[in-house]
Amino acid sequence: MASTQLPADLKFGLYLNGEFVPAGDGGTFAVEDPATGEVLAEVANGTVEDAIRAVDAAHGALDSWAATPPRVRGEILRKAFEIMRERTEEIARLMVLENGKALPDARSESAYAAEFFRWYSEEAVRMSGEVVTAPNGGYKILVVRQPIGVSVLVTPWNFPAAMATRKIGPALAAGCSVILKPASDTPLTALLIAQILEDAGVPKGVVNVIPSRRSGPTVSAMLSDPRVRKISFTGSTEVGKQLLHKAADGILSASMELGGNAPFIVMEDADLDEAIAGAMVAKMRNAGEACTAANRFYVHAKVAEEFTKRLSVAMGALKIGPGIEVGTEVGPLINAPAVDKVEELVGLALGAGAEVRLGATRFGKRGYFYQPTVLGRVPYDAPILKEEIFGPVAPIVSFDAEDEVIAMANDTEFGLVSYLYTKDMKRGLRISESLESGMVGLNRGLVSDPAAPFGGVKQSGLGREGGHDGLLEFSESKYIATSW
């Protein structure tokens, strides 16, 4: 029995070849509201056989979708953007229910997610190739871009809409058909997006959605199927590595958006008002449950105390509670293990000598809440500076010299995003170049934009999503040598 707060047209089956199919032998699994622990719906639990049926459907639809004029593909994506925009509030509320995030965060995500359909509706007609004369002058090098083929998309629970549209948008624009395996904590948003894409006119089989708690076997089976040519994954570095091993067996193209450990650097000449405002976004968007979340704050010794005080005041003023309640700014974390992990990291930091400036406790009698927390004087080797916190905790370390802070910022296997505040733009650009991350927020606490290439270096990933690069991830270059 599904909750009455869910959208009326939401279905709970597997979305296969343009139909919502009820669970077969795989049974169902429960989707919970993290604010209450209550069951929202029972969703079909896809099996290996279901996953292969999805590959059948995607493969069957591939040639005709690839041959569909780019303008037509673009117009379908444009329509999907418009429907998402009309349904922003419903999508946002659905995400609050299954993910827990505060309604303002959910509204922002819903709008951001829709923008990927708009951006890729415009990119669909820009899959340009090139023609050059060969260096010896004897012939032409003609390069065309072709859709890479059937693509498996695997997404995490922290941005249930945006991580799906960031992959589906470019894949469809490029002419690929897809199978989406959403996170099992948050499959409902993905199922609603499937309905929206159908309503926008996506032909059957082009998009398939397989919710499943059997993530390992279902995804592995698809990656072992020779009709699949691409895996695009967003999630933890640990699972990403396993999928890269799997992709190696079939020589599949792999795009990986993995974990982060973002440094947030405040130089002594930073505009502190802006740095605090940026820190609030970089740390507290989605209650800290973002791969781009500021994970470690490095603040110049001259301004560290003032920054710490002001950040504690700002974070302490946030209203914590169920995401759906009016005024809530910080919702619950995704599940019980997420709160346990935050508590453990904070405990280890305190044990190593860090001081509590705000919070450092759980919140509420039910649901998975953790208080916004600021820790001062965090020792350099505390695990909280090495691992993704994925919660509303800001550990602060002070530094004295530019070289020192660059070395600390780069001392991690991750390299997704770094944040840097300084009024001196010459210095800002110089430091930005030395930071080992795929993205830098220079005097900005938010980098995500559908028009920009999002992605990491080192163990934060391979490839880029968004921008023109995101389209090319779903294409293959074909070189035709010719003379005329």
Cβ-Cβ contacts under 8 Å for 340 (sequence gap 6 or more): none
Within 178-207, which residues bind ligand NAP (CB under 6 A)?
181, 183-185
Give which of 362, 384, 364 is closest to 372, Cα–Cα. Answer: 362
Which region among 53-61, 115-123, 233-241, 419-427 touches ligand NAP (by CB under 6 A)? 233-241
28 in contact with ligand NAP (CB under 6 A): no
Cβ-Cβ contacts under 8 Å for 154 (sequence gap 6 or more): 180, 181, 215, 219, 231, 232, 233, 234, 235, 243
What's the rounded Cα separation, in Å, for the pair 183 and 334? 12
Of the candidates 98, 115, 257, 465, the residue annotated as catalytic is 257
User: Is 291 assigned a catalytic role?
Assistant: yes
294 in contact with ligand NAP (CB under 6 A): no
State which residue, 196 or 439, has the beta carbon closest to ligand NAP.
439
Using CB under 6 A, pick the residue from 46, 147, 156, 415 that binds ligand NAP: 156
Q: How many residues bind ligand NAP (CB under 6 A)?
A: 30
287 in contact with ligand NAP (CB under 6 A): no
Using CB under 6 A, pick the residue from 69, 201, 216, 383 that binds ligand NAP: 216
Give which of 241, 261, 258, 238 is closest to 411, Cα–Cα. Answer: 261
458 in contact with ligand NAP (CB under 6 A): no
418 in contact with ligand NAP (CB under 6 A): no
State which residue, 183 or 406, has the beta carbon closest to ligand NAP.
183
225 in contact with ligand NAP (CB under 6 A): no
What's the rounded Cα separation, in Å, for the pair 148 and 368? 41
- x-or-dash string of contact with ligand NAP, 249-278, rule CB under 6 A: --------xxxx------------------
108 in contact with ligand NAP (CB under 6 A): no
Q: Nearest distance from residue 283's CB to ligand NAP, in Å?
A: 14
Give which of 11, 463, 16 is closest to 240, Cα–Cα. Answer: 463
State which residue, 388 or 473, has the beta carbon closest to ligand NAP.
388
Q: Nearest distance from residue 371's CB to ligand NAP, in Å?
A: 21
Q: What is the dihedral of CA 333, 339, 344, 349, to 10 degrees?
A: 30
165 in contact with ligand NAP (CB under 6 A): no
What's the rounded Cα separation, in Å, for the pair 256 and 104? 28
Q: Nearest distance from residue 240's CB to ligand NAP, in Å?
A: 7
235 in contact with ligand NAP (CB under 6 A): yes
Using CB under 6 A, pick the residue from 147, 149, 461, 466 that binds ligand NAP: 461
47 in contact with ligand NAP (CB under 6 A): no
Using CB under 6 A, pick the residue from 154, 176, 188, 275 that binds ligand NAP: 154
User: Is 476 assigned a catalytic role?
Assistant: no
- x-or-dash string of contact with ligand NAP, 334-363, rule CB under 6 A: ------------------------------
Using CB under 6 A, pick the residue from 151, 165, 208, 234 that binds ligand NAP: 234
- Burial (CB count <10 Å: 0-12, 13-18, 19+), residue 227: middle
443 in contact with ligand NAP (CB under 6 A): no
Q: For the chain, what is the radius of gyration of the CA atoms?
A: 23
State which residue, 32 or 388, has the beta carbon closest to ligand NAP.
388
Residue nearest to ligand NAP (CB): 235
Of the candidates 32, 291, 388, 465, the residue annotated as catalytic is 291
Using CB under 6 A, pick the residue from 28, 215, 335, 410 that binds ligand NAP: 215
From first CA to last CA, the distance across the chain in angstroms is 67
219 in contact with ligand NAP (CB under 6 A): yes
412 in contact with ligand NAP (CB under 6 A): no
124 in contact with ligand NAP (CB under 6 A): no
Is the separation of the CB atoms in 398 and 300 below 8 Å? yes
76 in contact with ligand NAP (CB under 6 A): no
157 in contact with ligand NAP (CB under 6 A): yes
Which region among 2-10, 157-165, 167-175, 201-209 touches ligand NAP (by CB under 6 A)? 157-165
What's the rounded Cα separation, in Å, for the pair 16 and 285? 34
Q: Nearest distance from residue 374's CB to ligand NAP, in Å?
A: 22
C-alpha 408 chain-centroid distance: 25
Catalytic residue numbers, as ranges: 257, 291
Residue ranges in contact with ligand NAP by CB under 6 A:
154-159, 163, 181, 183-185, 213, 215-216, 219, 234-236, 239, 242-243, 257-260, 291, 388, 416, 456, 461
